[in-house]
Amino acid sequence: MSRNASAIVWHDGPRTPLRHLFDLADDSADQIDAYIELGRVLVAVDDRDEIVGHAQLLPKAGDDAIELRSIAVVPGFRRCGIGRALVERVLAVGRSEGAGAVTVTTATADVDNIRFYLRCGFRVSSIEQDAFTEAGGYPPGLEADGIAVRDSITFTFAFGANDSRS
């Protein structure tokens, strides 16, 4: 079995079968429940037509940006280029639809995610303190790589002069 995605396509069916992917991307069931049915979803499928990753795109309110709200790849398919392929497709969609930028937010404690987004060409645009609270549905004592998950970091990929891929 190949560990690569054979295609990245729009998901038009129910989102419930994708819940395990959303769970990989977010530690708050309450948050996922609030956004799982919003926007559009791309899925990466392998050579057996199994869904091995997803990326959820939402229009960013009051802005000409697209938010990459949720993205995940199943563990056995990570570090094979599928996440990068999903991000590249999201950026292509943003460009083709005339968006000014794509944004994505993750925990400041998640060093792997930060490295990933920086390697994909995103730049830090803001940090929100105390974004991951129990009131938001996140479990107490949540950690990533031994670091307390408290603050969020938003990255922006702006199309135009600073976009070496346009």
DSSP-derived secondary structure for 44-64: EE-TTS-EEEEEEEEEPTTSS
Which domains are present in the chain? 7-158 (3.40.630.30)
The C-alpha atoms of residue 66 and residue 97 are separated, in whole angstroms, by 10
Is pLDDT at 161 greater than 70 in this prediction? no
Cβ partners under 8 Å of residue 115, min gap 6: none
Give, in order, the Cα–Cα distances in Å from 44 to each of 15, 28, 47, 103, 139: 14, 23, 10, 20, 29
Q: In the chain, helix, strand, coil percent, each to 5?
A: 30, 30, 40
User: What confidence score (pLDDT) does residue 62 get?
Assistant: 73
Q: What is the pLDDT of residues 104-125, one digit of tens each?
A: 999 999 999 999 999 999 999 9
The pLDDT value recorded for residue 6 is: 83
Residue 82, pLDDT score: 96
The mean pLDDT of 14-39, rounded to a whole number, is 96
- 23, 130 Cβ separation under 8 angstroms: no
Residue range 50-100, pLDDT digits in tens: 999 999 999 987 778 999 999 999 999 999 999 999 999 999 999 999 999
166: pLDDT confidence band, cut at 50, 70 and 90?
A: very low
Looking at residue 44, what is its pLDDT? 97
* Number of Cα atoms under 13 Å in the Cβ half of residue 58: 16
Give the pLDDT score at 164: 55
User: Dihedral sign, CA of 14, 17, 18, 20?
Assistant: positive
96 near 130, Cβ under 8 Å?
no
Q: What is the pTM of this model?
A: 0.91
Q: Tell me: the pLDDT tens digits for 133-160? A: 999 899 999 999 899 999 999 999 999 8
Going 105 to 79 to 16 to 101, the CA torsion angle's sign is positive
Answer yes or no: are the C-beta atoms of 120 and 165 closer than 8 Å: no
